[in-house]
């Protein structure tokens, strides 16, 4: 799952789709792995931020 597809089921985040797809040809396997890890970290941070904002609304 990519951050450009959806950011989670119950998380509403404005997603900017890139106009130009990055070609996979020039990227090394390590670079692809790092990009995947970065995407998952960003997703987790967005989910946490949404959770905290809901918690603030409750309190």
Sketch the domain layout of the chain as residue ranges: 1-59
Tokens standing for 12?
A: 């509403």
| Digit-coded pLDDT (tens) for 28-54 | 888 889 989 999 998 888 888 877 777
pLDDT of residue 53: 76
- Nearest-angstrom CA–CA distance, 43 and 11: 10
Of residues 54 and 3, more confidently modeled: 54
The residue length of the chain stands at: 59
**Residue 14 and residue 24: Cα distance in Å, rounded?**
25
- The residues near 26 (Cβ < 8 Å, ≥ 6 apart) are none
Percent of residues, the chain, with pLDDT higher than 90:
3
Question: pTM of the predicted model, to two decimals?
Answer: 0.42
């Amino acid at each position: 799952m990519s951050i450009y597809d959806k950011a989670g089921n119950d998380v509403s985040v404005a997603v900017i789709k890139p106009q130009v797809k990055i070609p996979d040809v020039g990227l090394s396997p390590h670079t692809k792995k790092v990009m995947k890890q970065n995407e998952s970290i960003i997703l987790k941070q967005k989910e946490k931020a949404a959770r905290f904002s809901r918690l603030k609304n409750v309190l």
